[in-house]
Structure 1
């Protein structure tokens, strides 16, 4: 059994992602394990996000958040890659989402992404 990264496998895993913490953490750990492919992971995540319905976008934002929070000890590669796309994703959900989606965005910006602000200055 190969332990190498496969975009096809990642797409399959993304399709099974749901809002449950265990689902998010399991896929996050898989992504962090494959940190050498972080650019491809983020590119696939970004495409999936922008074609997803709102409910799925929330799960995808939680996944990105978990990856960024838990990959810091392995370097800043995931953070740098996600910072290229996360603002547009947050704006999309805030602008086009319902109150629940907007509240998710507000909480993530306030509690999480504000700590990465120094990286984009």
Structure 2
């Protein structure tokens, strides 16, 4: 029974993390939109052009890191299942482990960008 309560706590924490990353992404997009528009028209400052380039490259890096972490966590979960940790609640925990590992790099980057762009004022 403790396992199901732990699962409920993890689901609630995952929901909160998803909400927090969503707000961070919103702040980041709102701060970057004028820079993106300026860089796209060719009238942007060097800072706006640099920010636009960094934005694209960091997304690719976060996606690659997430894919790698997700694959590694999938291997760990598979090993746990193969060694007998396969009851339904454990399987749910394993799936959450994989999801958290795969999304952690992008979430970390979104929070850092929102903090940086919010405190700097865009």
TM-score (norm 1): 0.28
Select the structure with the greater relative contact order (CA < 8 A; seq sep ≥ 6).
2
More helix as a share of residues? 2
Larger Rg: 2
TM-score where L is the length of structure 2: 0.28
